[in-house]
Amino acid sequence: MTMDGLNKWIPDLEYREFMLKLSREITLQDMAELKYVLTSLIPEGEKESLKTALELFRYLEMLLFVGANNLARLKEIFLIMDKPKLCEMVAEFMRDGGTRTVQSSTETAMTDSFVSDPWQRR
């Protein structure tokens, strides 16, 4: 099945793919900082159960704090946390409207190492 075919069945597929990539960039320290910044949204008992970035994002989606067309607040939080790379990933996704997949740092490093000069033969 093509991406277009999947998009028909999963309308927010590009958003979900983006959130997966974003979650892979979030460290344990970032998670602790996110939970701290979001203290007023997440009750103490709930914080302990949110162990991964995906679990935290899903919780924020249930609160309607983030969503496919609602990432500005997440970008602001990354600004507060002084996480320019995460902020830029969100900004790029917002700018492109989810029509182009944002590369994770791992993918970028791989691409950069293989295609530093597309005209150069290896």
- Looking at this protein, which amino acid is placed at residue 14? E
> What's the longest Cα–Cα distance across the chain?
57
**What's residue 8's pLDDT?**
61
Contact 16, 7 (CB under 8 A): no
Q: What residues does each domain of the chain span?
A: 13-103
Contact 66, 60 (CB under 8 A): yes
- Give the closest residue to 38 by CA, choosing from 67, 3, 65, 9: 65
Q: Is the pLDDT of residue 90 over 80?
A: yes
**What's residue 12's pLDDT?**
85
Return the percentage of the chain with pLDDT > 70, whole number: 70
**What's residue 3's pLDDT?**
56
pLDDT band at residue 88 using 50, 70 and 90 as cut-offs: very high
CATH architecture of the domain with residue range 13-103? Orthogonal Bundle (1.10)
